Chain A
Amino acid sequence: MTERMISCSAAICEALTEEMARDEAIFIIGEDLVAHGGIFGQFRGLPERFPGRLIDTPISESCIVGAGLGAALTGMRPLVDMHFADFVTCAMDEIVNQTAKIRYMFGGQVKVPLVIWAPDGAGLSAAAHHSQSLESWFVHTPGLKVVVPSEPADVKGLLKAAIRDDDPVIFFQHKKLFAREGPVPEGEHIVPLGKAAVKRPGGSVTILTYGSGFYMSMEAANELAGMGIEAEVIDLRTLKPLDFGTIADSIKKTNRAVVVHEACLSGGFGAEVSARINSELFDYLDAPVLRVAAKDVPIPFSPRLENFVLPKAEDVISAVRQVVYR
């Protein structure tokens, strides 16, 4: 398969173009899809290519998600555009009480092939209502699959997999990474849900990360290599179901782990990963599992404040140095 360098945005478009051409049941519903091809231009070209299959809605988040759910229950395969991940709060009932529960609560009678696509993340001075990373709320909600890709190839492959999956998937993508480029295979390229990837092999320490944390971790790993510390960077990609096998294989080799994410520390996904490592791999550990995350405050506006709150490569480096005792 030929690979080209394309951006995360282009990868979204490519995945959707291929999938929508393949299956007429797929449609996209959300606010401001048609005029700009989505507010980040992430669906550019799709409205012209698939007339009537990108549905602009009023600003009514409960009903947008609920409409996606109702359509999924009656034979369609919708992708709901959340506009900003922060706006999930306006549709929490539809996501948590309805979408996540319907199949189970009704005894497995029905499938719910729904993707909720939510652009998240900070770093753009967008302040407290447009900057959050909320993935751990949904990991904590049984009945949802949670995907947070980083590189464009994963964006394409995971989005295709999410669309084809018969279960509800909430798909977070970092706004700041839309323009980020990377090699992406043309045509049929599927990254299965629930599979982590070892993106940089190494024997000194395991860095477990996803989303924007991946780039931060790679930057740190490259610098650490200069100090003779070889970090193995694992991009978790899907948080639920979690590929704990890949995590375990790595930690059995490195005996050390650092979890890195942009979401704030307390109750973050790092806590879950760390707890599992402690309960299942305790005998392999030579150091406590450390977490690198944002500080426990809302995201402030002023760049100087925002930068202080968010985790950085240097925080990853210092955490790694702590666990390798160097």
Chain B
Amino acid sequence: MKSSVSTREMRRLYRTMVTIRKFETLAGELFAAGKIPGFIHLSIGQEASSTGVCSVLRPDDYIATTHRGHGHVIAKGGDLKKMIAELIGRKTGYCKGKGGSMHIADFSLGILGANGVVGGGFPIIIGAGLSIKLRHTDQVAVCFFGDGASNRGTFHEAMNMASIWKLPILFVCENNCYASTTPTAYACSVNNIATRAAGYNFPGVTVDGNDLLAVREAAGRAVDRARRGEGPTLLENKTYRRRGHFEGDPQKYRTQAEVAEWEKNDPLLRFASVLKKKKLLTGEMEKEIREQVDCELKEAVAFAEQSEWPNPEDALEDMFVNP
């Protein structure tokens, strides 16, 4: 699998990770500058998981994402302009300013939406999987969720249903070591969440979630299996959330030393060094990628900031198709 990734694809993957990292950094800055109302959850440090998984998906495949979902949306092809516009509450945003950071969706890209409820995506992805089966297509549906969500009842109900009906679903647990302030080990009765697949009779795989190629390979195998009609897989990407649970989180539940330790295990640095070793990436190329991404983000911010605010009365629209 690793060897089958083309040079172009390798660079594209790297670029996606850079885009996510830079997008999240920018979002943090905009938030700090008071430009983003509400609160935001950044996925810095988890880029290999979103990029690796989405890299094996087709545009017509579905994903359900979480409150920490910017990375998934970008990796699935989301429009940066509409994303930033949504974050700052403008009419041109993905949800016309009604959703915000925690509720971005793009149904044209198969992004069934981010969710403010931990574990809220499981039942929805079952519906998507069931719908694929009833429509006899070879799409797959991916459900991203955190370690915290693996303790919710919806996890259990969904795993069981996906298994008995052999639904084309990939469950991706981004185990980032903390559910808000609660360490995974405190809240989860098993060491590896992937172990739980044993309770449903389908494969569970734990991978180093900061190793892009490892994630991609495992996800690729699971997606192939799903497309062949062989049913679901539970993939656990072990990773780390480097920022607080939300921007402004005092983070009293962990030490700075721990965070620093994980900074050394940076998914971007690791993938860049792989690329450089294979001579697929030079310092110059890297610089070029970074500049391109900066430029795109700058445009996105300009687009968003120049966009209209929604009219107050717009708050009463979009509830029903037939009011």
Inter-chain contacts of A104 with B (CB < 8 A): 98, 318-319
**Interface: A109 (CB within 8 A):** yes
- State whether A102 and B131 are in contact (beta carbons under 8 Å apart), knowing that A62-B123, A108-B318, A167-B322 are contacts in the complex: no
Question: A67-106 interface mask toward B, CB cutoff 8 Å, 1 = contact, 0 = none?
Answer: 1111111111010000000000000011001100011111
**Interface: A142 (CB within 8 A):** yes
Question: B118-162 interface mask toward A, CB cutoff 8 Å, 1 = contact, 0 = none?
Answer: 001011111111111011000000000000000001100110110
A143 touches B127 (CB 8 A): no
- State whether A73 and B321 are in contact (beta carbons under 8 Å apart), knowing that A97-B117, A105-B95 are contacts in the complex: no
B123 touches A73 (CB 8 A): no
- State whether A71 and B131 are in contact (beta carbons under 8 Å apart), knowing that A66-B123, A107-B95 are contacts in the complex: yes
B318 touches A98 (CB 8 A): no
CA distance A145 to B98 in the complex (A): 20
CA distance A63 to B103 in the complex (A): 20
- Shortest distance between the CB of A271 and any CB in chain B (Å): 23
B99 touches A71 (CB 8 A): no
The A-contacting residues of B in range 92-129, CB under 8 angstroms, are 93-99, 103, 105-107, 112-113, 115-117, 120, 122-129
**Interface: A27 (CB within 8 A):** yes
B154 touches A109 (CB 8 A): no
CA distance A111 to B318 in the complex (A): 10
CA distance A270 to B122 in the complex (A): 36
Say which residue of B99, B128, B320 sits within 8 Å of A105 (CB atoms): B99
Say which residue of B115, B131, B320 sits within 8 Å of A145 (CB atoms): B320
**Interface: B323 (CB within 8 A):** yes
B97 touches A66 (CB 8 A): no
Most buried by A among B93, B120, B131: B131
Most buried by B among A60, A64, A66, A111: A66
A62 touches B95 (CB 8 A): no
Inter-chain contacts of B135 with A (CB < 8 A): 75-76
CA distance A140 to B12 in the complex (A): 48
Inter-chain contacts of B153 with A (CB < 8 A): 62
B116 touches A70 (CB 8 A): no
* B side interface size, CB within 8 A: 46
**Interface: A20 (CB within 8 A):** no
**Interface: B62 (CB within 8 A):** yes
Inter-chain contacts of A109 with B (CB < 8 A): 94-95, 105-107
The B-contacting residues of A in range 234-261, CB under 8 angstroms, are 241
**Interface: B5 (CB within 8 A):** no
B95 touches A73 (CB 8 A): no
**Interface: B164 (CB within 8 A):** yes
Say which residue of A72, A106, A142, A165 sits within 8 Å of B127 (CB atoms): A72
**Interface: B261 (CB within 8 A):** no
**Interface: B317 (CB within 8 A):** yes
B319 touches A142 (CB 8 A): yes
A60 touches B160 (CB 8 A): yes
* A side interface size, CB within 8 A: 44
Inter-chain contacts of B122 with A (CB < 8 A): 63, 66
Inter-chain contacts of A71 with B (CB < 8 A): 127-128, 130-131, 134
Inter-chain contacts of B97 with A (CB < 8 A): 107
Inter-chain contacts of A106 with B (CB < 8 A): 94-95, 98-99, 103, 105, 107, 113
- State whether A70 and B126 are in contact (beta carbons under 8 Å apart), knowing that A58-B164, A62-B154, A108-B317 are contacts in the complex: yes
CA distance A167 to B319 in the complex (A): 9
Query: A91's closest neighbor in chain B, by CB?
Result: B123
Question: B171-196 interface mask toward A, CB cutoff 8 Å, 1 = contact, 0 = none?
Answer: 00000000000000000000000000
Inter-chain contacts of A94 with B (CB < 8 A): 123
Inter-chain contacts of A69 with B (CB < 8 A): 123-124, 127
Query: A53's closest neighbor in chain B, by CB?
Result: B134
Query: A193's closest neighbor in chain B, by CB?
Result: B322
- Shortest distance between the CB of A190 and any CB in chain B (Å): 13
Question: B282-323 interface mask toward A, CB cutoff 8 Å, 1 = contact, 0 = none?
Answer: 000000000000000000000000000000000001111111
B120 touches A93 (CB 8 A): yes
- State whether A66 and B124 are in contact (beta carbons under 8 Å apart), knowing that A103-B318, A107-B93, A107-B318 are contacts in the complex: yes
**Interface: A166 (CB within 8 A):** yes
CA distance A166 to B319 in the complex (A): 11
- State whether A73 and B134 are in contact (beta carbons under 8 Å apart), knowing that A60-B157, A66-B154 are contacts in the complex: no
**Interface: A21 (CB within 8 A):** no
Given known contacts A63-B154, A104-B319, what 19 new A-B pairs fall within 8 Å (CB)? A57-B161, A58-B157, A58-B164, A62-B153, A62-B154, A62-B157, A66-B122, A66-B127, A66-B158, A74-B131, A75-B135, A76-B131, A78-B127, A105-B98, A105-B113, A106-B113, A108-B317, A143-B319, A166-B321
11 residue pairs A–B, Cβ–Cβ below 8 Å: A58-B160, A60-B157, A63-B158, A66-B127, A93-B117, A97-B120, A104-B319, A105-B113, A109-B95, A143-B319, A167-B320
Closest 10 CB pairs of A and B: A66-B123, A70-B127, A108-B318, A107-B95, A60-B157, A63-B157, A107-B96, A166-B321, A70-B124, A71-B127
Q: Which residues on A are within 8 Å of B, measured CB to CB?
A: 27, 29, 55, 57-58, 60, 62-76, 78, 93-94, 97-98, 102-111, 142-143, 145, 165-167, 193, 241
